[in-house]
């Protein structure tokens, strides 16, 4: 079969997800040596491969060392990308790639700079492993010296949380996630740094690694992602910290420095990481709604982040701004946007809204939970964030499978999945006459 790049990406993620679910279902993956519920195994495999972090069982208690290793492998595979890993294996074994493999890899990495597949793949791998290693070293010494862990325990916790952080997965080896470290900047800040870097996206990371000191050479994509990330982090920190400042169930009982640290930590998490150092279920409704918006926007494209992506959101903003000013062309950082980009951004946004709303309505129809909590879980699943108000483990099998579908759609991307499901590409040899309806 000749698969299109979109079909290859969807098939690759689907196949890896199936293998991961089977491995997690087996008794060897569970700490008590029994089979895991099939739906829970599918949910956990999808959450790990789609670097989401939503859980239906206690990660620290339910899984055996083998099960945790499977989860960690799925996180790394999902973060790097199935097609990218396939390209790396091909380069290692055969030292060459077929044209189909090159197209699949370039599509997944969203590379438009004309770089060779080998250069893109090796650059992404080097950047990923470097950031993960540096983060692991910082966490290792903190676990070892600050908490009295043995060298083995400190190393395992450091490596697991470093990989989970950079890949924006949100899986933790503690039953309360990271609540026990809410006041520890030596744990929270290295993880935040890894999450932010992973959320920038591989195209941005590769360019920053090569041209960090020459911002004038940055592409429009890099400029939008870097600027948008800084703005959203500042706004998110101020918003969460201000609203939760006096909430005794979250930040209100902590000292001012801890409140600011926790506010910043969660502003980073809503960028699609999913760790939490305070109880999300105790947050004010207005905080949850604001976090819904930040999660939906997400991080940079072609990386470990989810959401509709900063670039999509920025393009929509520039389109609106141009329309309000009466302009005819959408200009961004001295460059004109193609009209095809307008259509792509609008399509991604509308399909994503429809998916989240459809999932929310379906879960509401089958459960007794409030809208605030259900909407938060649905957005968190679609945006591959992993933050939860605590209701996910209590959902029935049908509701869990809805979240599985949202996670898969969010990781693959609406347009990629739509292209994969299309029966064929159809070229139209004619255009219909134009007519303009009334708008607004």
Largest CA distance in the chain: 74
> In this structure, what token pair is assigned to residue 15?
């196949």
Spans in the chain with pLDDT lower than 70: 1-4, 82-83, 85-118, 417-428
What pLDDT was estimated at residue 92?
Answer: 57
- The residues with which 335 forms a beta bridge, in sequence order, are 332
What pLDDT was estimated at residue 362?
Answer: 96
Q: Are 373 and 389 in contact (CB under 8 A)?
A: yes
Query: Quick one: which of 323, 120, 305 has its CA closest to 225?
Result: 305
Enumerate the domain spans of the chain. Answer: 5-420
Sign of CA dihedral 47, 48, 53, 57: positive
Interatomic CA distance for residues 339 and 242, integer angstroms = 39
What pLDDT was estimated at residue 93?
Answer: 55
What pLDDT was estimated at residue 77?
Answer: 87
Helix (H, G, I), strand (E, B) or coil at 49: helix
Instruction: Give the H/E segment covering residue 335.
Output: strand 335-336
- The residues with which 419 forms a beta bridge, in sequence order, are none
What pLDDT was estimated at residue 201?
Answer: 82
CA 245 remoteness from chain centre: 27
């Amino acid at each position: 079969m000749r698969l299109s790049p979109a079909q290859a990406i969807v098939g690759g993620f689907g196949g890896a997800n199936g293998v991961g679910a089977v491995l997690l279902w087996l008794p060897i993956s569970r700490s008590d040596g029994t089979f895991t519920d099939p739906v829970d195994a599918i949910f956990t495999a999808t959450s790990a491969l789609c670097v989401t972090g939503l859980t239906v069982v206690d990660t620290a208690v339910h899984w055996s060392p083998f099960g945790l290793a499977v989860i960690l492998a799925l996180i790394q595979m999902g973060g790097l990308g199935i097609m990218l890993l396939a390209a790396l294996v091909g380069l290692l074994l055969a030292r060459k790639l077929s044209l189909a493999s090159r197209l699949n890899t370039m599509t997944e990495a969203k590379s438009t700079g004309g770089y060779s597949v080998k250069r893109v793949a090796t650059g992404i791998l080097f950047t990923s492993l470097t950031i993960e290693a540096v983060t692991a070293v910082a966490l290792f010494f903190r676990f070892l010296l600050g908490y009295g862990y043995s060298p083995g325990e400190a190393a395992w916790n450091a490596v697991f949380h470093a990989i989970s952080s950079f890949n924006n997965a949100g899986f933790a080896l503690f039953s309360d996630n990271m609540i026990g470290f809410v006041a520890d900047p030596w744990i929270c800040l290295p993880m935040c740094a890894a999450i932010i870097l992973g959320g920038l996206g591989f195209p941005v990371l590769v360019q920053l690694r090569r041209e960090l000191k020459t911002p004038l050479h940055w592409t429009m994509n890099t400029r939008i992602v870097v600027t948008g990330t800084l703005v959203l982090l500042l706004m998110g920190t101020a918003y969460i910290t201000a609203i939760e400042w006096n909430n005794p169930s979250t930040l209100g009982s902590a000292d001012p420095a801890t409140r600011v640290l926790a506010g910043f930590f969660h502003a980073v998490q809503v960028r699609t990481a999913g760790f939490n150092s305070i109880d999300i279920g105790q947050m004010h409704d207005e905080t949850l709604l604001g976090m819904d918006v930040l999660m939906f926007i997400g991080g940079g494209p072609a990386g470990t982040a989810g959401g509709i992506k900063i670039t999509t959101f920025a393009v929509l903003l520039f389109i609106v701004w141009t329309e309000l000013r009466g302009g005819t062309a959408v200009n961004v950082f001295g460059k004109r946007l193609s009209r095809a980009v307008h259509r792509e951004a609008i399509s991604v946004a509308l399909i994503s809204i429809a998916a989240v709303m459809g999932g929310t309505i379906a879960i509401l129809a089958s459960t007794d939970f409030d809208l605030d909590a259900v909407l938060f879980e649905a957005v968190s699943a679609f945006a591959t964030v992993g933050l939860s108000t605590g209701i996910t483990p209590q959902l029935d099998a049908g509701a869990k499978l809805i979240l599985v579908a949202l996670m898969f759609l969010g990781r693959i991307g609406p347009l990629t999945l739509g292209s994969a499901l299309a029966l064929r590409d159809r070229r139209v040899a004619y255009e219909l006459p134009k007519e303009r309806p009334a708008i607004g």
